[in-house]
Amino acid sequence: MDTTHSRMVFDQWQLEQGRLSTEEPVTITGNDLELGNVINVACRGTPFRLSDDYKVRSRVENSVDYLELQLAKGRIIYGVNTGFGGSADARTHKLERLQSAAIQHLNVGILLEMDKNRVDKFANKLLRSHALPPPIVRAAMLIRCNSLLRGHSGVRFSIIESIARLAAHDMTPMVPLRGSISASGDLSTLSYIAGAIEGNPDVYLELPGGEVAPASEVLSAQGWEPVRFQAKEGLGITNGTAPSCAAACLALYEANRLAFLAQVLTAMGTEALDGTAHNYHPFISITRPHAGQSEAAANILRFLKHSKLSKDRGPDRAGLAQDRYALRTAPQWIGPQLEDLLLATRQIATELNSTTDNPLIDVANDRIHHGGNFQAAAVTSAMEKTMVALQNLGRLLFAQCSELINNATSNGLPPNLCFDDPSESFTFKGFDVNMAAYMAELAYLAHPMSTHVQVAEMANQSVNSMALAMARYVLEAVEVLSMMAATYIYALCQAVQLRVLQKLFHQTIPSLIREACFSYFGGSGATASPPGLSAPVEELITAISKRWDELAHVDHSSRCFIVVRDCLGRFVDNIASVPGCSQVTVPQLKEFQSKLSFELDACGNTLKARVRDEKNLCEEYLAPVTAVLYRYVRRGLGIPLNQGVSDHPPLVLREMIENKNSKRCEGSKEAKIGDISKISIGGEKTEMDNAEDSNMNSDTSRACVSETSPGCSNDSRLLVMGSQASKIYEAIRAGVLVDKVMEYCAAEGFWD
């Protein structure tokens, strides 16, 4: 392959960042439009302009002149002096009127009154907008202008300028969402852009402030003359794949970033699941040298560099000798998706700088070609590969997240990733169900569109690509996969804190157990050990550590008691032959069991407080790359560790109100001391006292509710967990989260 997938994503990111930093418009020539520039124009508000290069303008005008010359010679040219499609057997000399007929019969899409910013007397609250999203329309305007500049369409430069002028003034035509089969191009879709520049009173423009107005009124208000299409120009604008390509660009851009993010999340998942970095060893990919697999393995391994949670361990570790498939085969699973996405990106990059018109004007060779470049099957092919890639990436994240939440597969983490006792807190259980719902929907979406095409238009369009519809569904898949990624990220941040807690506990308890054993059975002090006691103590430490992880589903205090109880029998057998320990009585053992259980309990609670309160603690355990993601979630988005049922917003709010009331009441009592006028005989309150207390409580309650409501408080504990995941989702969709990782990787020279 010419490049790796991650390098391609990085190059697109650099292009996007560079354009945003300079605020320079995108200049189009017909030959060098890049996907990153499409994203900037469509989503970032970057303007575009037509090249003022003489060669660009001359080839456009040369095609117009050549067309006029051929018409003067009496040539029959499809769509210029013939009917359209299956009606191409018709002939006419009314060339301009024919172009109006072209636009008229294509302005047939369904838009709602609410899309046009009107009151709908038949309003149905179930209806979603039937308009194509404005970013897709803006991208389509850019791409169609770029294609027309290639000089194969016979469309005047001034007509192309009219489209670019709308975009320059941030005016976007309202275009129907559905109705294109993308196989004589996106005819109906593009006809609304054509209708906008010809001042159609029933074609609407969305203006910079969000208002919607008829094109005729907008053009008049701006002092712009509506265009009058000459020979072929109506067909030249509408007969192209620009809307399909535009939607594909946006979908592919998001998909590529999600594929990159999936590798970062797999690295973080390896840390959270106590997996081994050996899964991604280069030798494994050398022996099966698929480019995508090799890249995915190298990326994940690099993302894990310097991690304290994931080491290059072999099968001699306790428990499963190797990680489950969701981690161990991640490179083999992700790799083909990267290869498909690379190919899809190349296909769309080619489409961006192609002429997708018919007929084509070949001035250099003195010929007009009647062909089928409008058939957007290449775009459909790219989108179907992208869709399958998204589904497969989602399946991987779903599997990893399921392992994380299930204590039977999470290598010692508590069930549902609860921070408090499992008997009363089911923290991430709902997310586990949500992930299944997301995955089912994503899998449902992941069906090809090309297998469902229908014969259209007098059987003339007997095969058609449905590329625009396919791209729209890929954008829906992007939406669903982004929800899955957001949910998984939230779970990962919770899980790594629990994993650090587990690691700290295992690091701390050996000395605690030794001290307890030596002081109880061998005299005073942790070093006062009778000969022969050390080996049984070390075996007890190993047994307690193992049993501790097995009982992750048990409440903390009970877990401490059960662990010690279950491991003490073997310890007693082992110390029976140790001098000074053979006469230990049952009451003494019970006392020791109680003492050690208490110390484990106290140790666990102390460590919990550390993990909860020390901001940098977990970051020190994570690899630098995954720490970027963790830090942004915890600090950038302000999403804290979920402490369990105590973080349920109504309980948090109740606690805050009670605390505030308690402080107010204490202050009020101090102020009232010595105020005889407010104390009645016998200590009973006067009516004035009751009224004042009532007002204080009422005001306090209102103040507390106001100050602690989610709309006016920075306390993230007042947000339901779904809202926390929503914040991550929006950060993914806004590009901020991936940008943070990209910035770090760029600074570290990942692609140098």
Q: What single string gives the DSSP state of each residue in 74-141?
A: T---TTTTB--GGGTT-B-S-HHHHHHHHHHHH------TGGGT---TT--TTPPP-BPPHHHHHHHH
pLDDT at 468: 97
Domain that holds residue 473: 247-358+377-494
Show which of 624, 646, 676 is a domain's final residue: 624
Encode pLDDT of 565-608 as tens digits: 999 988 888 887 777 776 677 888 899 999 999 999 999 999 99
Q: How would residue 274 be classed by pLDDT, with cut points 50, 70 and 90? A: very high
Residues 319 and 441 placed together within one structural domain of the fold: yes
Structure-block tokens of residue 286? 């050398």
Residue 686 backbone dihedrals phi, psi, to 5 degrees: -80, 170
The alpha carbon torsion through 637, 641, 644, 645 (nearest 10 deg) reads -30
Residue 578 Ramachandran class (φ > 0 left, ψ -120 to 50 alpha, else beta): beta
Encode pLDDT of 691-724 as tens digits: 444 443 444 333 333 333 333 345 788 999 999 9
* Domain harbouring 54, CATH code: 1.10.275.10
Residues 197 and 236 placed together within one structural domain of the fold: yes
pLDDT at 711: 39
- Picking from 146-155, 280-289, 388-397, 701-710, which range would have the lowest pLDDT averaged per residue? 701-710
Cis peptide bond upstream of 359, omega within 30: yes
Residues 276 and 419 placed together within one structural domain of the fold: yes
Query: Per-residue pLDDT for 230 more than 80?
Result: yes
Q: How would residue 677 be classed by pLDDT, with cut points 50, 70 and 90? A: very low
d(CA 182, CA 467): 6
| DSSP classification of residue 712 | G
The residue-averaged pLDDT of 661-675 equals: 62
Residues 144 and 62 placed together within one structural domain of the fold: yes
Q: Tell me the three state secondary structure of residue 369.
A: strand
Q: Is residue 643 domain-resident? A: no
Q: Is residue 460 domain-resident? A: yes
Q: Which of 303-312, 515-524, 674-683 has the highest mean pLDDT?
A: 303-312
Q: Is the pTM of the predicted complex or chain greater than 0.85?
A: yes
Residue 749 Ramachandran class (φ > 0 left, ψ -120 to 50 alpha, else beta): left
> In 149-226, which residue ranges form alpha helices assigned H by DSSP?
157-168, 187-197, 215-222
Active site residues: 78
Residues 158 and 289 placed together within one structural domain of the fold: no
Encode pLDDT of 283-342 as tens digits: 999 999 999 999 999 999 999 999 999 977 666 666 788 999 999 999 999 999 999 999
Q: Is residue 172 domain-resident? A: yes
Give the total number of structural domains in the chain: 3
Q: Is the dihedral angle over the CA atoms 653, 654, 659, 661 positive or is it negative?
A: positive
Q: Which residues of 581-605 are buried (b: 16+ CB within 10 A; e: fewer)?
A: beebeeeeeeebeeebbebbbebbe
Residues 489 and 505 placed together within one structural domain of the fold: no
Q: Is residue 701 domain-resident? A: no
d(CA 655, CA 634): 23
Show which of 214, 240, 266 is a domain's final residue: 240
Q: Is residue 604 domain-resident? A: yes
Q: Is residue 47 domain-resident? A: yes
pLDDT at 746: 94
pLDDT at 323: 92
Residues 428 and 507 placed together within one structural domain of the fold: no
Residues 418 and 536 placed together within one structural domain of the fold: no
Show which of 624, 651, 666 is a domain's final residue: 624
Query: Per-residue pLDDT for 682 more than 50?
Result: no
Bridging pattern class, strands 48-50 and 26-28? parallel
Secondary structure string (H, E, C) spanning 528-584: CCCCCCHHHHHHHHHHHHHHHHHCCCCCHHHHHHHHHHHHHHHHHHHHCCCCCCCCC
Encode pLDDT of 175-184 as tens digits: 999 999 999 8
Residues 506 and 475 placed together within one structural domain of the fold: no
Residues 402 and 434 placed together within one structural domain of the fold: yes
Q: Is residue 429 domain-resident? A: yes
Residue 576 backbone dihedrals phi, psi, to 5 degrees: -60, -30
Residues 161 and 234 placed together within one structural domain of the fold: yes
Q: Is the dihedral angle over the CA atoms 723, 401, 340, 630 positive or is it negative?
A: positive
pLDDT at 692: 41
pLDDT at 707: 37
Name the one residue in this structure whose structure tokens are 């275009």.
175
Q: Is residue 370 domain-resident? A: no
d(CA 322, CA 45): 49
* Domain harbouring 469, CATH code: 1.20.200.10
Residues 351 and 416 placed together within one structural domain of the fold: yes
